[in-house]
Structure 1
Amino acid sequence: MYKIRCLFYSSVILFLIAGCNQGQNKNDTGYPVSSGFILSESEIPDFEKDLDHRGLIEAWGDRQEESLRTGEHIYNNICFNCHGNHEQEGSLPTAFKFWKDTFKVGGDPFSMYQTLTRGYGSMPPQTNLTPVEKYDIIHYIRETFLKEKNPSQYIEIDSAYLASIPSGGTLGPAPKEFKPWAEMDYGNFLINTYELVGLDAAPRERSSGPSPLPDENYINANFAYKGIAVRLDKGEGGIAAGNAWMMFDHDLMRVAGAWTGEGFIDWEAILFNGRHNISPRTVGDLHFENKVEPGWANPKTGSFEDPRFIARDKRKFGPLPNDWAHYQGLYQYGDRVILSYTVGNAKVLETFGLESLDNSPIFTRTLNVSPSEMKLKMRVAPVGTAVSMVGDGAVLKEERGHWVLEVQPSLSAKVKLLIGKSGTKGLDLYAKRSAPPESLEPFTKGGAARYPQRLKTTILMGESEGPFQVDVMNPPFDSPWKNQFRLSGIDFFKDPNEGVVCTTDGDVWHVRGFIDKLGALSWQRIASGLFQPLGIKVINGSIFVTCRDQLVRLHDMNGDGETDFYESFNNDHQVTDHFHEFAMGLQTDKEGNFYYAKSARHARQALVPQHGTLIKVSKDGKNSEIIATGFRAANGVCINPDGTFIVTDQEGHWNPMNRINWVKKGGFYGNMFGYNPPADSTDSGMEQPLVWVERDRDQSPSELLWVESKKWGPLNGKLLNLSYGYGKVFVVPFEKIGDQVQGGVFELPIPRFSTGIMRGRFNPGDGQLYVCGLSAWGSTQPQLGGLYRIRATGKPMHIPVGIHVFKDGIELTFTDRLDAKSVQDLNNFTVKTWDLLRSRKYGSAHHNIQTLEVSKVVLDKDRKTVKLIIPNIQPTWVMEIKFDLKNEKGESVTGLIQNTIHRLGENSIL
């Protein structure tokens, strides 16, 4: 109901622990002055500056029960995901525990409110909560956790305290229900993982306890893991605004069920209402359903026995063998969806419909089946369901408790199945007057555009004076379809003025105007309804999209720019109901093969081989293979010039900190909760990362990319890392000693973006970097999504781009010349190191913290290379090198490199 984003990608100290100090300085608005806030004072809504904090807190007495009830609702439905309570640990073990932890800074109500409003450190600002809602959740936390279980952190509210906080003229806007995920027009289909249930469904089973969490008993649950939900009734607003739906499962080529009601689903999911460890359920009346078994019999044997992979919890996952049945994709024609698949060597086109008998819904399946060499059989519904048929080429039979459609060898079939709820009377008589089945081939040629509008936005040009300018290229947030624009991928066409972006809400947009001089963009929605797209690539004009269920190629059949056929280019990988197993990024190698990363389950052991892997798909889409394993939350892929890969991963169980991995084929990268991990769980049993990235630098690294632009001067050819967690960009200097790559990260001098940054591409037309991002799982940044251009201005950068470790020191190479006197002052450098402890626990504290002596510093003749002589240098998990120098003009050059040392060089630094 409320939009608080608890973080799961990396271990950060979350909700409220970085509140503002009660006693720190305040400006004339009453707000504490601190450089740690995410939002500046100018970014706070005007009503916040005249807010009656005293009155809002005093109102707790008059609305005690209502306030606690509202606060409990927010906490239990959203915040509990991460924080849990005193009886059950949340999904982030390192999240602040109100019932026992000590506030690091202010824990009084007013200070807690500032953290909620402006964000602080790793705590994102809660821009969609009203002041009343923020104080309600503070009230609930104080009375439920602090007062009884953590009294030392409970600050009494007395007249002196109330007199010390602002008493303004407004209570802010009234609270209102906010459900953007349920208001969006997704189009008339939406692919996701769904659980089909009836009106009297039992409560969900959700396991708890220490990690790894035990598997729930879902063996009898009706999950459509690759479910295509299709709206059947007429009307605007897309699938979420409908009243009747049918679900097709493209793993099993079955109709999972059909339902009616006033709501589509309950929206319980990480990318809808933010809930963890849950998949959306249908709501309403389930008229019929089919078990999680093949929809078509094996054409060679006539058997419906399921041959697929059996997971540890005894469920079966993945698609049927291709020679049995194969999903080819779906056509969109107006509001109609036509499925395309094969059974044996027969081609099948199928569409769904809705008719009425005595005011009761009758669901229809229209099938066009080409001749087959073998008899074909399809399960329609369990016996007891009302089923009838119109058309020729097939017959209905009862077989082992099911209505079965049977098509004889060498015959084509064109039939319409009529399906009603058990107890429906007169269906056979109604079938005689129902319209005959349609030929579906005409609907595969493309229809009128569903989204003909081209929306316009203005480019806001950057005006900073440094080495980089950032231009804001916001999407049309006021679109007629109420899109959230959580951008998750970007790429360009041959004409560099045009490109595509995808969103994790299922859209693809054709964007024009990237490099022309008009200062505006045109946005055309060309695809919708996809399953959590998180990567996109344009190859010879064709658009490919990484979705959680498949790799999709988009086809425009009639030249209007809009997608008419969503081709399932490859759907080999297995999908379970777990919220965390995203399919991330999309890249191609020189031979045209595709690569993306598949995340593992959170706090649980893997169920299927693809959990936590780097996956390769052949150029023709017919085959796939696992390249590397052991990832936890692998956010994207980078292909290196030498043909190796880089995959980032996030802090969590078996990941003591975020890691950037230089990936070798066949390598294992540390997550012992992955599928079939090695027996050796020690650190030596895994490949080591290029660098362990501390949460203070970046709580959630996303994709890396190589700079491919002469306009970026000394950074051309260097490696960049994008930050989903903090909305930053880092350069990644590295070296290779033996077969081990090691290096560090350094933040580019660019202000934080207002959204987490996921993907980036250099535009070959203007040579600048375009990045896009979103805030959906756990970025500290408040904006849902954004698109930006980063322009290198040609001004000096003073960025360390080279790092080399010797047996007695470390060498840093900067992009620009430095002042020799400042470099030679040992006080201008601080070098610290510490170790991490990798275990099944979430994250790691710092161990063996040391400050290393820098005995001498030498500036090389190029005046860019700095040699730090460190007598006690040793391999270390984490090193931080702080410097406070000057350039040759006497201007300040400060910064911090965070790096990892696996091996020392054999030579001396001097």
Structure 2
Amino acid sequence: MNLSRLILSLLCGALALSAAEASKKTAKYQPQPWGPWVEADFPFFSSILDARRDGLGKNNLTPRGLIIKLPNDCWACFDTDLLRVSAVWRGKGVSDKALAPGSYLDPSRKTLGGQFPAPQPEGKLWLGHAIIPGWQLGAKVDQVDPRSPAPSPAEVGRGPIPTSLGRFQSVELVGKDVVLTYRVADATIRELWKTSEHEGQVVIERHLSLSAHAKDLLLVVGARHQGPSQELETGVTVSGPAELAPDDDFFAVKVPANAAAAALCVALCDEHPAPSIAAVAIPTGPTTRRWKSSVTTKVALSSSKDTYVIDHVALPVDNPWKRAVRTGDIQFLKDGTAVVVTLDGDVWLARGLKEGSTKVTWRRFASGLHEPMTCAIRDEQIFVFDRNGIWRLLDTNGDGEADVHELFSNAFAQTADMREFPSTIRLAPKGEFVIGKGGQEATTIGKHNGSILRISADGQTSTLLGHGFRQPNLSVNPRTGLVVASDQQGQYVPSTPLHIVKDDQFYGFLSDKLPKEQYPAPIADPLTWIPHAVNASALSQVWLFDAKMGPLNDEMVQICFNKPDLLRVLWNHRGSRPQASVVSIASDFATPPLNGSVNPADGQLYIAGFQIAGWGNTLTTLTGIERVRHTGAPLLIPREIVPTDRGVLLRFEVPLDPAKATDPDNYSFATWHYKRAYTYGSAQYKADGKTGNDWLTASSAVLSLDGKSVFVGVPGLKPVEQLRIGWALSSADGKEMRQN
């Protein structure tokens, strides 16, 4: 293959990409046929809540909120970090300024970076709060946030309060109600919300059940009106072994130590005195099945004869609840049951994904989660990572639905920044989890934005493995624990890197709020870069252990999002440090891919994904699940690539045609460098600093005795940031082998 032909092929690829992107930009998406994002018959959902209104608490922003849906158009937001009710209001609910609700009916609606605009209460605010714990020790309200500050002192998303003060435990579905359980000091508290009417006025009731406790507790109900507001104050009363505490700034309830369990009720009434209402017993026990119907879909098998083909798994979009199914991840139980998480807070179970089957049965398993994009399985239990933390979803009565959402871990911070995505969670060998968090910040600098953390096996602690990521997506080798992550090209990220993550190293991305290009530490070198023209957006990786994927068994593959692709990652351990090369395996995806895993029932790779239209994908399809299936045909790409100072070793899976393999003109080599800067991405630079590529010419090509390896001599090959190799070969039995 001569040089002019190589250049032509690269230009053709660029033109094809430009045409696809142009088509994408002109595509128009019709309003989606779904029901409301907030379902009428489900008692809670999760959201950021911006209740910063004059006179009702200071800086009242809730990054991690459980929104409790009550009768009479009443709502309450529980902050799982500070154990406070940050807002109570009556009206329509919450404005759709977050990613999931905003794009639910309009798939092209993106969120801006930063914390503004954020979802707000829609209606009359009855109570607000300050950024302080909702439960405290002692008799007076302490208006100091006990959590360590973020790098930006004004940032309120600091994570949970110290464990000695309390910790949120679970959300339990009981009948039509939702019960919250948490610990305050030595007391376990269960909480239920109701509404009633009294003398023509709506009353909101907060029922509390406390275990025996040895310490005096103080419940900070909410902030009193301050400043020039002329609104009348919300009426607050309490019944049970407690009393209102005198305080000019807050409604507070003193709960004395008690050797026995106690029950309280805090009643609220807008602009009227609240009646005293007796506490009710907090219900226990699992709920009955909520989503009684199943949905059946089909698997469309590919007719391709390639080594790896892509089958399409139809989603349960035609469902009785008119619920969108925007898939973020797919993981598997041991029996092959698929666990599928969606951006809109749902989890579905899919059965029937196995060899030879073309029918899949779907059931809804959980809802109410906070924009989750990823999940993991440990000991046959389902863990979902969302903006509120890591949830363990429990089906306590075996009816096939989660009735308890246990907050397994929130031992890390979360801001209200719209792009601090919960990108990935993966299980590590010792029962720990590793998570990745989005790093783009436009309002403040948070504690853990753009970081990868290890979560202890009990969920109580987190450890930084790496920081300085823009938008990381990761994998964990389930045998060795090695953590690998990609990042998204953009400011400070010249092209898509593939990193080993360890030792809390710095990986190069800086917040917009920091001085430009002033790096706090040396920047870790990647295993490799993936050029923008090859793929502008790589996502997660999958280790193909216990797979039936032929030559790819036990290897790591890289999922690419922008131009949907699956790359073989070829490790090189022959040098002073690990390096890698990537080569395309399959690219005939019809849906945008994000995350995936191997199904133990058939040993094949399944990949789920969705897109917000206009955010970096060349397809017009919005979501889907696809299976990458091994057909048994020979694999015609390299299994190893080793650059040296004298040339490059290429090892293939099959014997090569000797005549083509030993012709140096059938190989091409281009090298270049990148420049890391505040500007978006990077051009490609020659060794002399000018833009462009340095082209190298092969001088020789020597074939191994088994015919599967060839060493190509390349004079002048020196250390570079990027080496691109092209070849035009054939297998010994005449099959074309051509890649760049």
Give the alignment's TM-score, normalised by structure 2: 0.89
For residues 222-263 of structure 1, give each alpha carbon's deviation from its aligned partner in whole angstroms, at most 9, with x where no partner exists.
2111011111127xxxxxxxx331111111111111222245
Give the superposition deviation at 1:838: 0.3
Which residue of structure 1 aligns with residue 306 of structure 2?
466
- Aligned partner (choices 305, 308, 326) of residue 167 of structure 2: 326
Partner SS, residue 634 of structure 2: coil
Which residue of structure 2 aligns with residue 629 of structure 1?
467
Aligned counterparts of 2:479 and 2:719: Cα–Cα separation in 1? 27
C-alpha contact 1:755 1:779 (8 A) present in aligned 2: no
Which residue of structure 1 aligns with residue 6 of structure 2?
none
Cα distance, 1:678–1:707 mapped onto 2, change above 3 Å: farther
C-alpha contact 2:727 2:738 (8 A) present in aligned 1: yes
Cα distance, 1:358–1:710 mapped onto 2, change above 3 Å: closer
Aligned counterparts of 1:651 and 1:181: Cα–Cα separation in 2? 36
For residues 823-881 of structure 1, give each alpha carbon's deviation from its aligned partner in whole angstroms, at most 9, with x where no partner exists.
22333222111111001222111111211111112222222212121111111122211
C-alpha contact 2:187 2:212 (8 A) present in aligned 1: yes
C-alpha contact 2:492 2:679 (8 A) present in aligned 1: yes
Cα distance, 1:863–1:877 mapped onto 2, change above 3 Å: same
Cα distance, 1:299–1:733 mapped onto 2, change above 3 Å: farther
Which residue of structure 2 aligns with residue 554 of structure 1?
393
**Number of aligned residues:** 701
- The one-letter amino acid paired with 1:756 is P
Aligned counterparts of 1:811 and 1:271: Cα–Cα separation in 2? 51
Give the superposition deviation at 1:566: 0.5
More helix by share: 1
- Aligned partner (choices 225, 245, 266) of residue 417 of structure 1: 266
Give the superposition deviation at 1:642: 3.5
C-alpha contact 1:645 1:663 (8 A) present in aligned 2: yes
- Aligned partner (choices 423, 427, 432) of residue 274 of structure 2: 427
Structure 1 unaligned blocks of 5 or more: 1-32, 39-104, 106-114, 131-176, 202-218, 235-242, 897-910
C-alpha contact 1:299 1:344 (8 A) present in aligned 2: no
- Aligned partner (choices 599, 609, 612) of residue 763 of structure 1: 599
More strand by share: 2
Cα distance, 1:665–1:675 mapped onto 2, change above 3 Å: farther
Alignment of 1:120 with 2:21, yes or no, is yes
Give the superposition deviation at 1:292: 2.3
- Aligned partner (choices 715, 718, 722) of residue 871 of structure 1: 715
Partner SS, residue 536 of structure 1: strand
Where does 1:378-527 land on structure 2 (aligned, <5 Å)?
Answer: 378-383=219-224, 385-389=233-237, 391-411=239-259, 412-421=261-270, 423-424=271-272, 426-428=273-275, 431=276, 434=277, 436-440=278-282, 442-443=283-284, 445-496=285-336, 498-515=337-354, 517-527=356-366
Which residue of structure 2 aligns with residue 134 of structure 1?
none
Alignment of 1:248 with 2:103, yes or no, is no
Cα distance, 1:34–1:816 mapped onto 2, change above 3 Å: closer
Alignment of 1:614 with 2:452, yes or no, is yes
- The one-letter amino acid paired with 1:413 is A
Aligned counterparts of 1:182 and 1:34: Cα–Cα separation in 2? 42
Give the superposition deviation at 1:678: 13
Give the superposition deviation at 1:781: 2.4
Partner SS, residue 578 of structure 2: strand
Which residue of structure 2 aligns with residue 735 of structure 1?
572
Give the superposition deviation at 1:127: 4.4
Partner SS, residue 641 of structure 2: strand
Partner SS, residue 309 of structure 1: coil
Partner SS, residue 583 of structure 2: strand
Cα distance, 1:284–1:303 mapped onto 2, change above 3 Å: closer
Aligned counterparts of 2:32 and 2:129: Cα–Cα separation in 1? 34
Aligned counterparts of 1:691 and 1:802: Cα–Cα separation in 2? 14
The runs of 4+ residues in structure 1 deviating greater than 6 Å are 674-680
- The one-letter amino acid paired with 1:256 is S
Which residue of structure 1 aligns with residue 96 of structure 2?
266
Give the superposition deviation at 1:821: 1.2
Alignment of 1:191 with 2:38, yes or no, is no
Which residue of structure 2 aligns with residue 882 of structure 1?
726
C-alpha contact 1:609 1:675 (8 A) present in aligned 2: no
Aligned counterparts of 1:487 and 1:786: Cα–Cα separation in 2? 6
Aligned counterparts of 1:453 and 1:126: Cα–Cα separation in 2? 38
Partner SS, residue 431 of structure 2: coil
Partner SS, residue 875 of structure 1: coil
Give the superposition deviation at 1:675: 10
- Aligned partner (choices 188, 210, 213) of residue 372 of structure 1: 213
Give the superposition deviation at 1:522: 0.9
For residues 66-113 of structure 1, give each alpha carbon's deviation from its aligned partner in whole angstroms, at most 9, with x where no partner exists.
xxxxxxxxxxxxxxxxxxxxxxxxxxxxxxxxxxxxxxx8xxxxxxxx
Aligned counterparts of 1:335 and 1:866: Cα–Cα separation in 2? 68
Identity value in percent: 26
Which residue of structure 2 aligns with residue 136 of structure 1?
none
Alpha carbon RMSD of aligned pairs, Å?
2.9
Which residue of structure 2 aligns with residue 139 of structure 1?
none
Aligned counterparts of 2:13 and 2:711: Cα–Cα separation in 1? 36
Partner SS, residue 629 of structure 2: strand
Which residue of structure 2 aligns with residue 207 of structure 1?
none
Aligned counterparts of 1:271 and 1:649: Cα–Cα separation in 2? 26
Which residue of structure 2 aligns with residue 213 of structure 1?
none
- The one-letter amino acid paired with 1:315 is E
Which residue of structure 2 aligns with residue 798 of structure 1?
636
Alignment of 1:648 with 2:470, yes or no, is no
Which residue of structure 2 aligns with residue 584 of structure 1?
423
- The structure, 1 or 2, with the larger RCO (C-alpha pairs under 8 Å, 6+ apart) is 2
C-alpha contact 2:567 2:586 (8 A) present in aligned 1: no
Alignment of 1:692 with 2:525, yes or no, is no
- The one-letter amino acid paired with 1:427 is A
C-alpha contact 1:532 1:548 (8 A) present in aligned 2: yes
Partner SS, residue 747 of structure 1: strand
- The one-letter amino acid paired with 1:185 is E
Aligned counterparts of 1:685 and 1:605: Cα–Cα separation in 2? 26
Aligned counterparts of 1:275 and 1:877: Cα–Cα separation in 2? 34
Alignment of 1:745 with 2:582, yes or no, is yes
Aligned counterparts of 1:269 and 1:179: Cα–Cα separation in 2? 18
Aligned counterparts of 1:677 and 1:670: Cα–Cα separation in 2? 13
Structure 2 unaligned blocks of 5 or more: 1-11, 104-109, 226-232, 687-692
Cα distance, 1:836–1:232 mapped onto 2, change above 3 Å: same
Partner SS, residue 418 of structure 2: coil
Aligned counterparts of 1:812 and 1:505: Cα–Cα separation in 2? 45
Give the superposition deviation at 1:628: 1.6
Give the superposition deviation at 1:298: 3.4
Cα distance, 1:605–1:650 mapped onto 2, change above 3 Å: farther
